[in-house]
Amino acid sequence: TWTMVNIVEEQIESIREQIGDRGRAICGLSGGVDSAVAAAIVQRAIGDRLTCVYVDHGLMRKGETEQVERDFVAATGVDLKVVDAEKQFLDALAGVTDPEQKRKIIGREFIRVFEAAEAEILGEVDDKVAFLVQGTLYPDVVESGGGAGTSNIKSHHNVGGLPDDLEFELVEPLRTLFKDEVRLVGEQLGLPAEIVWRHPFPGPGLGIRIIGEVTRERLDILREADAIAREELTHAGLDRDIWQFPVVLLADVRSVGVQGDHRTYGHPVVLRPVTSEDAMTADWARVPYDVLERISTRITNEVREVNRVTVDITSKPPGTIEWE
């Protein structure tokens, strides 16, 4: 729409003014809409002086890494560095079952990998300023009391391999926008619909949707079940009615089933579709029975290790949206 065109043009202009020819910019992509739209706007402003970094931690859902690597790059022409860090993350997570411990480890490894990529990108150039692009939205600005300021200067966290006098400055093209406006801008910029309309997805990814230890085998099981649930929700045309639809693998639980004429001893998955305005509270979503039935039938037919599909009918509070 006309307003979105204006927002984009204004932002491109103000980013050109902010950055000028003072240095290069880096943007971490998560696979979500905010970082994607922020990156696309900055790319329009400064072209290949922006480098995007996507850390593949191995905890993404089926197809999501390809959406960034292939579709987002095709739509924007952005310069992208993908770091395949699956092994590093899974090694660090080995044997860990406590949810907060998982979050800490994933957060720590993420910073390590991201900073190493930063050093690699910036280490060679002799700029005095590096710009970090962030997809901060208006509600975050208000919440943190950021007010009407433009860009914060951030003194950096000792990244090895970088010049001592390098300063980091934030670029936040979405500071004045609400989520629904970001999606409209994303459409305006021609970004892939899967990214623009993606449901919120936690940073630790599927790592906190496996109850128990996170392993490659378990991730693969969950990825298949999750992909089926998402596919059927999309086919039913319900994506925009549902806030989030986690699928959770109860990896340490087994139950007896019968598939074909075999007795099986497999794992249950939990479907957790919710409606919500802001994730602070949520209601379990009344997904039509026929859609649930298709999901259940397909998962138990197509994912050998899963022999039981359950639906979580707890609201938040008292339940949280995620299981961990």
C-alpha closest to that of 15 among 51, 48, 44, 53: 44
CA atoms of 56 and 65, how far apart (whole Å) = 7
**Using CB under 6 A, which of 146, 203, 212, 257 touches ligand XMP?**
203
- Strand 153-154 to strand 167-171: parallel, antiparallel, or no bridges (unpaired)? antiparallel
**Using CB under 6 A, which of 103, 156, 179, 254 touches ligand XMP?**
103
Does 244 contact ligand XMP by CB under 6 A? yes
Q: For residue 67, what are its two tokens?
A: 């959406």
Does 99 contact ligand XMP by CB under 6 A? no
**Using CB under 6 A, which of 204, 266, 268, 273 touches ligand XMP?**
204
Rg (CA), the chain: 21
**Using CB under 6 A, which of 73, 167, 197, 200 touches ligand XMP?**
200
Does 46 contact ligand XMP by CB under 6 A? no
User: Is residue 56 annotated as involved in ligand binding?
Assistant: no
> Residue 187 CB, nearest distance to ligand XMP (Å)?
22
User: Is residue 315 annotated as involved in ligand binding?
Assistant: no
**Using CB under 6 A, which of 63, 202, 212, 257 touches ligand XMP?**
202
CA atoms of 284 and 293, how far apart (whole Å) = 17
User: Is residue 203 annotated as involved in ligand binding?
Assistant: no
Q: 178 or 265, CB closer to ligand XMP?
A: 178
- Strand 167-171 to strand 306-311: parallel, antiparallel, or no bridges (unpaired)? unpaired
User: Is residue 31 annotated as involved in ligand binding?
Assistant: yes
Does 179 contact ligand XMP by CB under 6 A? no
CA atoms of 259 and 321, how far apart (whole Å) = 31
> Residue 276 CB, nearest distance to ligand XMP (Å)?
8
The footprint of ligand XMP on residues 249-288 (CB under 6 A) is: 279
Do the beta carbons of residue 321 and residue 274 sit within 8 Å?
A: yes
Q: 130 or 285, CB closer to ligand XMP?
A: 285
CA atoms of 186 and 188, how far apart (whole Å) = 5
Describe the chain by its helix, strand, coil percentages, rounded to 5. 45, 20, 35
> Residue 266 CB, nearest distance to ligand XMP (Å)?
26
> Residue 244 CB, nearest distance to ligand XMP (Å)?
6
Do the beta carbons of residue 214 and residue 93 sit within 8 Å?
A: yes
DSSP letters spanning 234-261: HHTT-GGG-SB--EEE-TT--EEEEETT
Cα angle value 68/70/76 (rounded, 5°): 75
Pattern of binders to ligand XMP over 299-318, x per CB under 6 A?
-----------------x--
Total binding residues for ligand XMP by CB under 6 A?
11
User: Is residue 32 annotated as involved in ligand binding?
Assistant: yes
CA atoms of 222 and 88, how far apart (whole Å) = 20
Residues tagged in the binding site annotation: 30-36
Residues tagged in the binding site annotation for ATP: 30-36
Q: Which residues are at the interface with ligand XMP (CB under 6 A)?
A: 103, 200, 202-204, 244, 279, 316, 320-322
